[in-house]
Amino acid sequence: MTTTQARSMSQTQRTAYARDVRRFLNGHYFDSDRDRRIRAFLHHLIEDNAEALTGTRDVAILTGPNVMGKSTLLYQVAYAVHRQHVGEGADTAVMARRTVTRTIGTREHQVHPTHTPVLLLSLEAATTVTKFNELVVEVLDYEKSVAKKVTALDLLLQHGVRLLIIDDLHQLILTEKLGRYALDHLKAVVTAVGEYGVTVIFAGANLSHHKVMDDPQVTGRAYELTVAPYAADTGQDAVAWQRFLKECGSLIAPHLPMASPGMLHNQLPGLILEGTHGRMQAVVNLVRRATVAAIEDGTWCVTEDHVRAVPAAKLTRDEYTGAARPAPAPEPLHPTVSVSHRERGGVG
């Protein structure tokens, strides 16, 4: 859209156009250097596990505060791996075509399990061994009763799972006996599927302070990836923050013909950081709302007034308490991403 076209639009036309832009931004994945680096690391890990000799495989643990974009990032990884195994370039020879026997009613039938290269599970509150097994069978579209007849491992292998993502690991309550049993069961499943080259990614909020990280069988051969809020405390932090804003600005610029090249990353980085605390969800919401507001009021560029008009994100309780006890700095992979590898034996 040109500046002339924008200026000639009526209020009704701007409102309709703003609605289209909002719909586009709502369905768009706001990518970043941070997320690309994490995705590349995970894809290399998946390839290494699939090609390695028989034995225990490494796992990944993705953690960080809430609303940092962890689950959204994992969905992008899951989509990519799924397309790799079922797309046009997929190797049909490795697709799940096993024939298994299933009892339906009173008769036995030979069936082909649906090929499911990626399985993403979100743990429920107070997950137990039974709940986990039922979650697996339900996600694979079986009745809960199947969990009593077939092991989770058998189902994962029969359906050709190559990537298992277990999200919301923080839901495990390890102070209770059933929670400890559930963790032991998860470790056994991880060890078993690893023998077949399957990669497991754990994810959850603030796992660095969770008792699950005290278990050497979980962290023994695990890469810990921490997704932290954007900040400007150091030069590297500021550069990473402004690069992300520049990428956001490039996305919305075609819809704002009066926007300057440095609209977000040069003119408004401090103000946006103050209102969002550097959290991915808050930043994305602010950019979306400010862009729509700039179209509707006819300014056609994001200003301080648009940014201030978006309600500031509130710090969560874990951020308040965590501020008083900063975690030790791990080996840096990126200003906002850390990876640590502890060589303390195998998983499981």
pLDDT digits (tens, 9 = 90+) for 154-179: 888 888 899 999 998 888 877 778 87
pLDDT of residue 98: 58
pTM for the whole thing? 0.80
Q: How far is CA 244 from the centre of its chain?
A: 17
Query: Of 31, 32, 28, 6, which is closest to residue 17 (Cα–Cα)?
Result: 6
DSSP state of 212: G
Give per-residue pLDDT as tens, 249-295.
999 999 999 999 899 999 999 999 999 999 999 999 999 999 999 99
Maximum distance among all Cα pairs of the chain, rounded to whole angstroms: 73
Residue for token pair 């497991």: 200
pLDDT at 324: 43
CB atoms within 10 A of CB 146: 18
Which two tokens mark 339?
């990876």
Q: Over its length of 348 residues, how does the chain's per-residue pLDDT go in tens digits? A: 788 888 899 999 999 999 999 999 999 999 999 999 999 999 999 999 998 877 778 899 999 888 888 999 999 999 999 988 877 666 655 555 556 666 666 777 666 678 889 999 998 888 888 888 888 988 888 887 877 777 888 888 888 899 999 998 888 877 778 878 888 888 888 888 888 899 999 999 888 888 888 877 777 788 999 999 999 999 999 999 999 999 999 999 999 999 998 999 999 999 999 999 999 999 999 999 999 999 999 999 999 999 999 988 776 555 555 544 444 443 333 333 434 444 434 443
Pairing assessment for the beta strands 222-227 and 337-341 based on DSSP bridges = antiparallel
164: nearest Cα among 54, 67, 74: 74
Listed in sequence order, the DSSP H helices in the chain are 3-7, 11-26, 33-51, 70-86, 129-139, 152-158, 177-194, 216-219, 235-252, 269-276, 280-296, 304-309, 317-322
